[in-house]
Each structure stands twice: as C-alpha cells, then as structure tokens.
Amino acid sequence: MTDIIGLQALEQALTALTTRVSSLREAKSAYPADPRSTLDAALAELDTARELLEASLRELRKTPKRSGERESGSQRELKLLRQVFRTFPVPVVVLDGSGVVRRISAETSQMLGSPAGYLIGRSFPLFVDVSRRAAFRSHLTAVQQGGQTATFQTRLAHQGRAHTVQLAITRLTMPGEPQEMIAIMILPLEAQVAGTSPGPVDRSDAALVLASARRQELLSRMTRLLLDEESLRQPVTVTRAARLLAAESADWVIADVVRDGVPRRACALGPSDKPVTQLVRLIEGMNPLTAPAIANVLTGGSGVVHEMLEEDTLLGDVPGGPPLLRVMGAASVLIVPIGGESGVLGALTLVRLRDREPFSLADLGLMEEIGVHLGLALRARRSFQTRSQAADALRTSVVPRSLPNIPGFEAAAIYHAGSSPVGAEFYDVFPVQDGWGFALGGAAGKGEEAASVSAMVRNGLRVLSVWESDPGEALRKLNQALIAQRNGMFVMAVAGFVRSRKIRLASAGHHPAALLQPDGGVRFTAGGGVPLGIAPEAEMFDEELTLTSGQTLVFYSDGLVASQNELGESYGESRLADVLARCVTQSPAAVVKTLEEDRHAFSGGRVWDEIVILALRVV
C-alpha cells in the first residue's frame, strides 16, 4: 500500500476489509474441519489491517486545527478517521510506551467483554496469559526499540472469557503524543466463554442489584453456617466456611489461622473438576508467611484485592519451582483478615482462574464482612469450648467416671444433664470403714454455683465417712457446713452405708428409694426429711434395711418422677412402681435402661431437669 492514501480510498479499503473478514468468519463456521486455510487467510488480512491502520495514522498526522479557527476539512477528516478506528472490523489496541491501554476499538471492547472506558488506563500485559506475560513484554520492548513488526501467539483472558489469539505488534507515532505508541492488532484463533453470553458485561442497574442480592445471600448462608451448633462444638468452623466460599465464590480457597501466635495453614481447597489433589496437599504443607500478600494481611489487618494480577509471586513459590499463582492458573486474587478483638485471627485467600470474572471492590467488602463474622464465630467457639471444659470438670466432680465393684452387689447408674450445660445432681459409690457407701442428690438450682455446692456435698460425704459410721450423722455435719457458708443454697440428698447385706439409709428431703422384691412387689422406703442448708438442726429420716438375694434397691432424682408428657401429666412414683414390677429378673443395668426408655417414651424424649437413677441388686 502506498505511503499516501486518500480518505475516499481509505474508506473503500476499509469496507472491502470488513467484507472479507465477515466472509472468513462464515468460512470458519461452515468448514470447521479445515481451520488452517482460514487461519492463513486471516493472518494475511491482519497484515492488511495493519497497513490500513498505518495509513490512517498518516492521515492523522496532517495539520491539526489551530485555536480559534473554524473547523476545516482536515478536522472533519480527523473526526472521520477516529470514527473509522472505533469501527475497525479487527480488534485493535493502542498502547503507550509502558504498555498501558490508551485507545481501543469497539471490536476489542466486545471481545474482552468490557466497555472502552473500563479498559483504557489498564496495563495490557495483565490481559495476557500469566505464563507468557514475560515473553510478551520482551516482544513489546523489541518492537519499541527496533521498529520491526512482531507477531506473538498467546491467550487473552478477561471477564470470564479466554481467547487464544495471534497478536501483531507494531510501532507508530500518534499526533499530539510526545512519545511513540504501540499498535496491537488481535486475531482471535479460539474463544472459550464460561457461562457468559457474547457481548459486553451487563453493568445495568438491574444487574448490579442482582449481584448485590447474591452477595447478601452468600453472607446470610455463611452466618447460618457459623451459628450452627456443630460449628461451635467441633473444630470445623474455618473448614466449613472455606467449603462454602469454594462452592460459591472462588476456584481456590486457602484458610490460615493463628494458633499460639503462629500462623498455620488450616485448609486448602481447589477446583473440584480438575486433578489438583497433589497441588492441594502441597499448598496445605506450605508456611503462610512464605506468601508475601498473606503475610501483609496478617500483619496489617487490612484486606486486599488484585483484580488483575501484575505479579504472580503474591503467594510465594512452589518449593523448588515456579510461583504458586502461575501453577494455579490464577487471574484474580482476594485476601481478607479473619478479625479478632486483640489482633488478626487468620486470613482467607480466594483465587479465581482466567475463565471467571475477576474479583471487584464489592467482593472485597463482602469478604471483609465474612472475615469479621468468621472471627466472631472463632471467638465464640473458643469461649464455648472453655465453658464446655469447665462444665466437664464440674460434671466430673459430681458424677463418677465409673462405678466400683461392691462385694455381694451389682450396681448400675444412668445420668442425663437436662437443659443446663452444668448439672447440679450428683451420685457416688465409695468405700467406707468395713463396707461401702453411696449417695445421691442435688442442689436446688442450676448452673456452676449449684454444681459446686453439689460437688462439696459429694466430696464431703467421702471425707466424713472416714470418721462417721452413720450416714445420718455425716449429713448433719454437712448441713452445718452449708449453714455456715450462708450462700442460700440447699441440697436434697440420700446416703447409705453398706455392711454385709445391711444398709443404713439417711434422707435429707430426698425421694424415697424403691425396693423391688423377687416376687415382683415394689415398696418404697421412708425418705423425706429436711433438705441440707435450710435449718441448723435439720431433721433426717433414718432407716436400716437387711436385703436378701434378688432384691434391688433403686434410687432416683426428681427429674425422673417429675417428667411430663404432652398433656402435662407427671411420670410419678406409681408409674415407676409399675415399670419396676416388670423388671424382677433383670440386672441393675437393664433396670436403669428400662426406666430411661419408658420415661423417654412417656415424655416424648424431652428432658428438662437432670435425671439420675442408681440401682443396687443383691447377688
């Protein structure tokens, strides 16, 4: 093509080029089995397009309009040439010397899926495949310095679109620009679109509202997940949150937590549809501090979003290998802290691949909110765990881990904590002088204070049994101790000392024990009395029993007989006696199990107060 071309000839050449490009597109669709001939023709047309662009630029170099003059014919031509550039049938991008997009044709905007206003000012190498980005910059520099046109094949990715393209890179001089520019003509060889339709990304008000609604839905789902009881009881909070984010918002999710002041990797999740198991294991074993971007977030406590990756070293290198982000195929990265009152508790790292829309500032805001919620959940779990450990310690102080063997007797017990995390009921079986002792009871009330009082009574009976041979006397001394403390708590208790087959019983406001006879008859002991801690001179009900082989003595808490069904009826001692009458030949373990199953059926599985059942059978 000659150095000088008239505007009319330029318009005609452009029209002819548009027709030929359209024909090549039709040929590619009609004859997909013969792509080579179409590709060769397309490359030839690319050269033609470059020559046309150069001719257009020569026209643009003509004398510009002077200040104050009326618009001349050359100025009208200049406007027309700019319009020609915008409607050029081949994707064209004009870059400055640093590789930043300065002008862009409508074809390029449509191919990349964003309006020109969004793309201008971006660094063009960011659209190039990460693995070929360094090579592209070298070609760019060579064209700038040598002035020779270069061709380069790579992948361009943006807004969920990935294109395999042939680039023609040439140097040019733009009117009004102090430095030489770079023109790049793009020939798409293959396009991959993941779940999006061709054309620019929809940025209408309706689309923005829909995107906002989706973010709110994700936040709502995350909140429900973090408040789930399993997340509080089990160390799965971070892992479950990462799984939800991997399913809804990212291709890769890496979670790091700070334990004992040291950042540790909690989990790493990769794309489920790709063979990345080995890479996942590798990432799980990496130190979070080897990733500069994660280390900065853990130290500074502020989130960061890299909409388009300029550097692929943000997450460090694979041990002995290339940058991790390059191995992942990453195109966009978002990192947020897991918030804590006294410092950062960890970090969430989300990575999207080239075939997905990049993260935005709106995504950063959402993930920062999720990081705050996750931090609250972790603190709640740690507090819950601490309280659970305290509750377990208190429960151990009122309930033995196992029952000892009592010579001549079989023993079994069952315990349900009820609605309170810390129980106030207790039972115990322990050695006394020349025999064995047992006790059952509970402080009136719930919570830690009631449990601590019950623990004091249980352990006090053990201590006093060393000096006292009568359980009633031991209970009286415990009553004096409770009165002296003036804590307002009182305790219902029953205690017994077993020597041979004789049992000495003492009751302080407790339910009577049920005695099951070998013939199926059931009678109740005296029981009653005044609970401990009410009056200085407490009245105890004492009773002595001599048991024979086959008899079973059953002690129970108020939670058993006070259980109610859906009609508000109490389980009661009459039903208890009826159930026991059917347990004549059963062992103590079978007796307590039968009672619990019957109570469960009666009350529909509801448990309000603690339930304790202790059975002793003479063998």
pLDDT confidence of residue 4: 46
39-65 tens-digit pLDDT: 666 666 666 776 666 666 666 555 455
548-560 tens-digit pLDDT: 999 999 999 999 9
Which residues, 6+ apart, have CB-to-CB distance to 358 below 8 Å? 158, 159, 307, 308, 331, 332, 352
What are 12's two structure tokens? 């005609």
CA dist 617 and 333 (Å) reads 69
Amino acid code (one letter) for 410: E
Cα angle: 439, vertex 400, 603; to 5 degrees: 75
Q: Where are the domains of the chain?
A: 84-188, 213-386, 399-618
Q: Indicate the range of 209-218, 244-253, 290-299, 468-477 predicted with least confidence.
A: 209-218
Q: Kindly tell me if the per-residue pLDDT of 381 is higher than 80.
A: no
- Please check whether the two domains, 213-386 and 399-618, share a CATH topology: no
* DSSP-based three-state secondary structure for 603: helix
Which residues, 6+ apart, have CB-to-CB distance to 120 below 8 Å? 101, 102, 103, 104
Q: What are phi and psi of 95, to 5 degrees?
A: -115, 155
CATH topology of domain 84-188: Beta-Lactamase (3.30.450)
The helices-and-strands tally (H runs, E runs) of the chain is 18, 20
Closest CA to 426 of 510, 544, 540, 528: 510
What are 260's two structure tokens? 């004992």
pLDDT confidence of residue 194: 47
Are 10 and 85 in contact by the 8 Å Cβ rule? The answer is: no
348-368 tens-digit pLDDT: 999 998 778 888 888 898 999
Architecture of domain 399-618 in CATH? 4-Layer Sandwich (3.60)
pLDDT band per the 50, 70, 90 thresholds, residue 512: very high
Q: Kindly tell me if the per-residue pLDDT of 596 is higher than 80.
A: yes
CA dist 222 and 160 (Å) reads 25
For every residue of 468-481, which 3-state class applies, written as one string? CCCHHHHHHHHHHH
Closest CA to 446 of 396, 489, 390: 489
What are 209's two structure tokens? 């509202």
Percent of the chain with pLDDT over 90: 32
CA dist 153 and 136 (Å) reads 9
Regarding the domain with residue range 213-386, which homologous superfamily does it belong to in the CATH classification? GAF domain (3.30.450.40)
pTM: 0.50
What are 465's two structure tokens? 């049994």
Q: Indicate the range of 7-16, 85-94, 342-351, 603-612 predicted with least confidence.
A: 7-16
Amino acid code (one letter) for 110: Q
Are 244 and 259 in contact by the 8 Å Cβ rule? The answer is: no
DSSP assignment, residue 564? B
Q: Kindly tell me if the per-residue pLDDT of 227 is higher than 90.
A: no
pLDDT confidence of residue 60: 57
Are 256 and 346 in contact by the 8 Å Cβ rule? The answer is: yes
Q: Indicate the range of 3-17, 467-481, 519-533, 562-576 predicted with least confidence.
A: 3-17
Q: Indicate the range of 2-11, 185-194, 422-431 predicted with least confidence.
A: 2-11
